[in-house]
Structure 1
Amino acid sequence: MNKSAFLQEEKNKEELKEELDNIEIQLFRMQNNIKEIAKKSEVISIDQTPQDEWVVVYADREQDTWQLMLHSCKRPYRGNWHSALQAELKDDSTIHIAAIKGEENKGYGSVLMEHLKEMAKEENVQYITGDLVKRDFDHVDRLQHFYEKHDFEVKINHEKEFGEIEWNDE
């Protein structure tokens, strides 16, 4: 084996060790985070983002409002979420997204959206709706891409700076 191949193999071993250490830390935090989160909220799932980051998904559900939250296992839980989706039950067939908040471009919103759709199916809620409002228009293209990626129909009136989204579980 030449020196270059040996160095590459050592580098690969080092990268693998670093990756395993990272996973071990995330699993340790996941266990502790779940214990703390479960004291106040309903733990819905353990999931992974598209970037292979482990997250805990949890919810606070009242009669007409749902808040889905997500906490990364890369950090210890200190009572705060990293991303949240707030929704209101409008009637037996419709849930309306009030807000999606949190860190961007980490896949957190996608994880929360998939869980919202799953919960809607479990509760026999056929429609998920939402509005795009004036404050959204500085990033409306990104929002349109996000909702379309999650199978929502998106209607936007750029002139009036208003839009509507709808997901139909048919």
Structure 2
Amino acid sequence: MLTVSSAFAKKEEKSKEELIQEIENLEYQVFRMQENMKEISKRGKVLGIEMTKEEKWVIVYAVKDKHVCKINIHDCETPYRGHWDFSIQASYTGDSEIHIDDIRGEENKGHGSVCMKFLQEHAREHNIQYITGAISERDWGHLNRLVHFYKKHDFYVEVDKTQKKGKIYWERN
């Protein structure tokens, strides 16, 4: 996560023109954020606004009912037209468990980490003890990245390489 002091240090190294461009980009993101928040709040519950590892602002929101919980992200650079940019889709499998069904969206932007943080926070707030999921054969092309992602978020990961499948498990502390 970018800290204020590291952001300030980076700003000192930039030219006046670069800083002006950054301010203009930020103003545009804030304008788009306001417009997107209005539209997103009609369809889901806004959970927060976060900065990604690429220093881009995103709106985090949830769409849920008694069976499904989707933690979604939409960027603050494009208009919201009813579609998310990134999503962790999960289902409630009992009073104390959420099962991750799918993670969708472009990789390596930090969106997965932002969504996972909010899913874990949701579990804590609703007294849900476990988050589980499966690793399937379709995940095999990016297995190392997936295992790293889950371990980074305090999941236990079991992989059966002979059967090309695995399990993930997180327990609320």
TM-score of the pair, normalised by structure 2 = 0.90
RMSD of aligned alpha carbons: 1.2
- Identity score, percent: 48
**Runs of 4+ in structure 1 displaced over 2 angstroms?**
none
Cα shift at 1:145: 0.5
Alignment counterpart, residue 125 of structure 2, candidates 110, 114, 122 = 122
Aligned residue number for residue 131 of structure 1:
134
Aligned residue number for residue 9 of structure 2:
none
Aligned residue number for residue 56 of structure 1:
59
Aligned length: 161
Following superposition of structure 1 onto structure 2, how do residues 40-79 of structure 1 map, counting pairs within 5 Å?
Answer: 40-79=43-82
Following superposition of structure 1 onto structure 2, how do residues 11-26 of structure 1 map, counting pairs within 5 Å?
Answer: 12-26=15-29
Deviations 1:10-29 (A, max 9, x none): x6101111111111110000
Cα shift at 1:80: 1.1
C-alpha separation between the residues in 1 aligned to 2:124 and 2:51? 21
Cα shift at 1:107: 0.5
Aligned residue number for residue 108 of structure 1:
111
C-alpha separation between the residues in 2 aligned to 1:53 and 1:60? 22
C-alpha separation between the residues in 2 aligned to 1:149 and 1:97? 16
Cα shift at 1:64: 1.4
Deviations 1:31-51 (A, max 9, x none): 000001111111111111122
Looking at CA atoms only, which structure, 1 or 2, has the larger radius of gyration? 1
Deviations 1:107-137 (A, max 9, x none): 1111000000000000000111000001011
Aligned residue number for residue 30 of structure 2:
27
C-alpha separation between the residues in 2 aligned to 1:35 and 1:123? 26
TM-score of the pair, normalised by structure 1 = 0.92
Aligned residue number for residue 154 of structure 1:
157
Unpaired runs of at least 5, structure 2: 1-11
The answer to whether the aligner puts 1:37 opposite 2:59 as a matched pair is: no
C-alpha separation between the residues in 1 aligned to 2:145 and 2:42? 35
C-alpha separation between the residues in 1 aligned to 2:141 and 2:49? 32
